[in-house]
Amino acid sequence: MRGVKRVALVLIVLIAALAILAFVLENQQDVALAFLGWSTPQLPVSVFVTLALIVGMLVGPFLSLLVRRKARPKSAL
């Protein structure tokens, strides 16, 4: 049973890696983003999407911790 789980995990990782590779290869068009007067150099679309994913993965858990702390009832001392 442990071997089946390991094979399934390897297959999932391989599928995810192939999907990421396909996304990067399909999105090589250079674009420049502009927001509130800030402008970026021209980079492939996949770079911006990957950066947004990484920022979301870092900010999401942090915001979750903040919400959890505020929602937790304070214990009476």
Domain ranges of the chain: 2-71
30: β partners: 44
Residue from 27, 19, 26 nearest 43 by CA? 27
* Average pLDDT of the segment spanning 28-43: 90
Q: For all residues of the chain together, what is the average pLDDT? A: 87
Using the predicted structure, report yes or no on whether residue 76 has a pLDDT greater than 60.
no
Q: Could you tell me which residues come within 8 angstroms of residue 45 by beta carbon, excluding any fewer than 6 positions away?
A: 27, 28, 29, 31
Q: What is the pTM of this model?
A: 0.59
The reported pLDDT for the residue numbered 71 is 75
Q: In this structure, what token pair is assigned to residue 34?
A: 């502009």
Percent of the chain with pLDDT over 90: 35
Q: Could you tell me which residues come within 8 angstroms of residue 40 by beta carbon, excluding any fewer than 6 positions away?
A: 32, 33, 34, 48
